[in-house]
Amino acid sequence: MHDALTRQVGVLKAAVNFDTKEVVVEYDPTKTKPATIAGQLQKDTDGRYTATIKS
């Protein structure tokens, strides 16, 4: 999952915590947006992971 996130354009860092089932992503808002990151994560992991965006 970490690799699927950090390969995305605009993603600077990703921290994955499988115990809490949370991921914190640092991104460049001029290059991507949260919905794009979440959608690409689902696609890159063949739907094994879904994302809910928290603010």
Which strand (E) or helix (H) includes residue 17? strand 11-17
Residue appearing with tokens 């993603």? 11
Q: What is the pLDDT of residue 48?
A: 87
Rounded CA-CA distance 30/10 in Å is 8
Q: What is the pLDDT of residue 37?
A: 94
How is the chain split into domains, by residue range? 2-44
pLDDT-derived band of residue 1, with 50, 70 and 90 as boundaries? Answer: confident
Over residues 2-55, the pLDDT tens digits come to: 899 999 999 999 999 999 989 999 999 999 999 999 999 899 989 888 888 887
